[in-house]
Structure 1
Amino acid sequence: MMFIRYAGYRFLTMLLTLWVVSILVFVIINLPPGDYLSNQIAELRATGQAEGVAKAEFLRTEYALDRPLWEQYFIWVGMMPGPQGFSGLLQGDFGWSFEFDRPVSEIVGDALWLTVLVNLAAVLFVYMVALPLGVISAARSETWVDYTAGFVGYLGLATPNFLLALILFYYGHKYLGLPIGGMMNPIYEGQPMSPGKVQSILVHLIVPTFVIGTSGAAGMMQRLRANMLDELSKPYVETAKAKGLSPSKLLSKYPLRMAFNPFVADIGNLLPAMVSGSVLVSVVLGLQTIGPALLAALKSQDQFLAAFVLMFVALLTLIGTMISDLLLVLLDPRIRYGAREG
């Protein structure tokens, strides 16, 4: 019951934080002077294209861009009726992309699940690599195993993602036959899900998962190793050794459990960091994620598309943070609900 109350409290906190973030996102998006339509109107007037100016002016009125900024915000969120009534984020209307001349929902529809799929695969890769390497490095400290793992970790941190993508783009395809570009074979695009399509997606995931997850795995491995070494140097470890506890049981029962807290807490930062860090990788590898759409929207001041993508990244951050908080409460008995509620 206590855990359910705490989970509900964290969920309400997440919603409140998301509302504050929406205000910040909207303000930041509107900080540069002008917008897509006002810039387009200035260009059309300079070239004497009256019909184009009339269409742009109509769009400004249709999407309430001619109203005060505070009214634009409440209409965008869906808390205030606009020219089309209550039609905003709360009602599932993400706005119109002026750059692509399509609803934002159509542009990001497939890209959203592909983005989630790529980054979830990268997160699994990070944990599958960082956990064993971090534990082994700490348990075999100052041995060739530790030095080798450390070298691999520093190499992963020092290599830019886009450079690693370019290397695998060439050598992975040439020597390993890995498919490069896109998230599936073109023959499966627009087709219903099938075993062949699933297999094609999984094969295409190999390169982006490795590229996006390498730096995250390297950093997390180093943090886990440092935490493990700190725990292994504490007196209770020597006491457990003196009692005859086996090395494997000693590592899993006490030091690993205590060192795992920051490992779990990183979930909140890992997902959004990978989404933002995969923008260039998506461009290089031709992935149909939201990264290229965000880049195009920011360059052209396509405010509705850019704002939605930023809100999506913020939502991932808040969901990851909430999950990490709930897992920490379950993992570490030293964390009490009452300390947070009181």
Structure 2
Amino acid sequence: MLPFLARRLLYAVPTLFAVSVIAFVIIQLPPGDYLTTLMADWAAQGGAVESGMVEAMRERYGLDQPIYVQYFKWMSGILLQGDFGMSFEYGRPVSELIWSRLGFSFLLAFLTLLFAWAIAVPIGILSAVRQYSVADYIATFIAFVFLALPNFVLALGMMYVMSAYFGQSVGGLFSAEYVDAPWSLARLWDFLKHVWLPVFAIGTGSLAALIRIMRANLLDELRKPYVTTARAKGLDEFRLLMRYPVRIALNPLISALGWILPAAVSMEILVSVVMSLPTTGPLLLRALLAQDMYLAGSLILLISVLTIIGTLISDILLALTDPRIRLQ
């Protein structure tokens, strides 16, 4: 088991390096830089921009240096000092901006994952065991609807319904009086009253995909000879189902952790903008639009780290649940 984990951790190092290079290059691909965007904003507001001032700012921010110099400066700061650089637009350290929002993003992703798994597994089992029944058709229809429906559209619809018909406060993760309040039971309860709506809006896409994966894999297992043999020996149907086919059918869902965690973070970008959530989503969107390269690159790097963590967790769980992986 330890050599297995060591190999996975070793693979993560070059993967992170490659992702950081690709992310930094992609952010630099659009013409211009942060100062180009800033000058366009100033011009739109009728302000005059002096070329000498722009050049001074470009030199101050290091934007006059080649891209590889900017990249190595950024990465050396992260690796040696834990410094992600300065945000051009906010004029504050990137780490300060990120850590204030990252906790809510991770919590939202975790709750979304629990929500998707808790509903997808039993519905997928029911849909496979009762194939072509009314329950199967309903589950399949709901799954396809949620797959086709954009998350932010669902969020907008839910916000309207909850506000217009139930009078509930929508938008954000807290009511106005609890936004800056210290944590207490009252603030926790207020958080729980608000968080279910973005969790549902973000998690429906993953939920629908997981239902289809669970159903397809369990149907494949139920047709195998070992299931027929176990039934012929008189094994109880529920015990047979849970002990063998469901355990094996869960493997693809466990391996899906690698993409569900970052997918939840990336899917929450538009939902967070629509619902005014204090997460990294709106921050990343604004950083990309403004070409705030250190802020955008750091957020993309953290999402990549989340992907690697999710993949590592899925590998560990697969090794624990399936002896064939450990032996291999």
* TM-score of the pair, normalised by structure 2: 0.92
Q: Give the C-alpha shift of residue 96 in structure 1.
A: 1.8
CA distance, structure 2, for counterparts of residue 145 and residue 40 of structure 1: 55
Alignment check: 8 A CA contact 1:179 1:203 kept? no
Match of 1:27 in 2: 25
Task: State the Cα distance separating 1:90 from its structure 2 match.
Answer: 4.5
**Which has the larger displacement, 23-32 or 190-199?**
190-199
Identify the residue that residue 109 of structure 1 maps to in structure 2: 99
Asked whether the 8 Å contact 2:214–2:249 carries over to 1, the reply is yes
Match of 2:197 among 204, 207, 210: 207
Deviation at 1:177, TM superposition (A): 4.2
Compare 93-102 and 108-117 and name the one that shifted more.
93-102
How far off its partner does 1:14 sit? 1.2
In the alignment, which of 12, 15, 18 is matched to residue 16 of structure 2?
18
Gaps of 5+ in 2: none
Q: Given that residues 208 and 281 in structure 1 are in contact (C-alpha distance below 8 angstroms), is that contact kept between their aligned partners in structure 2?
A: yes
Give the secondary structure class of the aligned counterpart of 2:84: coil
Q: Does the alignment pair 1:239 with 2:229?
A: yes
Counterpart CA distance in 2 for 1:215 and 1:90 is 39
Shift of 1:335: 1.2
Give the match's secondary structure for 2:323. coil
1:76 aligns with 2:74: yes
For residue 64 of structure 1, report the CA deviation from its aligned partner: 2.7
Q: Can you list the C-alpha shifts for 1:237-269, whole angstroms capped at 9, x where unaligned?
A: 110000111111011111011111101000001
Q: Which of residues 2, 5, 9 in structure 2 aligns to 1:4?
A: 2
Provide structure 1 residue ranges, at least 5 long, that are not aligned to the other structure: 79-86
Name the aligned partner's letter for residue 103 of structure 1.
P
Equivalent in the alignment of 1:81: none
Instruction: Provide the residue aligned with 1:311 in structure 2.
Output: 301
Structure 2 CA distance for aligned equivalents of residues 38 and 143 of structure 1: 60
Aligned partner of 1:155 among 126, 140, 145: 145
SS in structure 1 opposite 2:90? Answer: coil
Q: CA deviation at 1:58?
A: 4.3
Distance in structure 2 (CA, Å) of the matches to 1:44 and 1:298 = 18
Quick one: which amino acid aligns to residue 162 of structure 1? F
What root-mean-square deviation, in Å, do the aligned CA atoms of Structure 1 and Structure 2 show? 2.1
Per the alignment, residue 261 of structure 2 pairs with 271
Percent identity, aligned pairs only? 44
SS in 1 for 2:324: coil
Confirm whether residue 257 of structure 1 aligns to residue 255 of structure 2.
no
Give how far 1:202 is off: 1.4
Q: How many residues align?
A: 326
Q: Where do residues 277-292 of structure 1 align in structure 2 (5 Å cutoff)?
A: 277-292=267-282
3-state SS in 2 of match to 1:329: helix
Q: Which segment is superposed worse, 264-273 or 300-309?
A: 300-309
Which stretch shows the higher mean deviation, 176-185 or 249-258? 176-185
- In the other structure, the counterpart of 1:137 is 127
* Distance apart, 1:13 and its partner CA: 1.6
Q: Distance in 1 between matches of 2:165 and 2:266?
A: 30
Q: Which residue of the other structure, out of 305, 311, 328, is the alignment partner of 1:321? A: 311
Asked whether the equivalents of residues 44 and 53 of structure 1 are also in contact (C-alpha less than 8 Å), the reply is no
Would you say the 8 A contact 2:124–2:212 is kept in 1? yes
Cα offset for 1:164? 0.8
- Tell me what 2:65 maps to: 67
Say which is worse superposed, 315-324 or 65-74, in terms of deviation.
Answer: 65-74
**CA distance in 1: counterparts of 2:158 and 2:66, whole angstroms:** 49
Q: 1: CA distance between counterparts of 2:80 and 2:245? A: 45
Equivalents in 1 of 2:325, 2:6: separation in Å?
Answer: 17
Q: CA deviation at 1:325?
A: 1.0
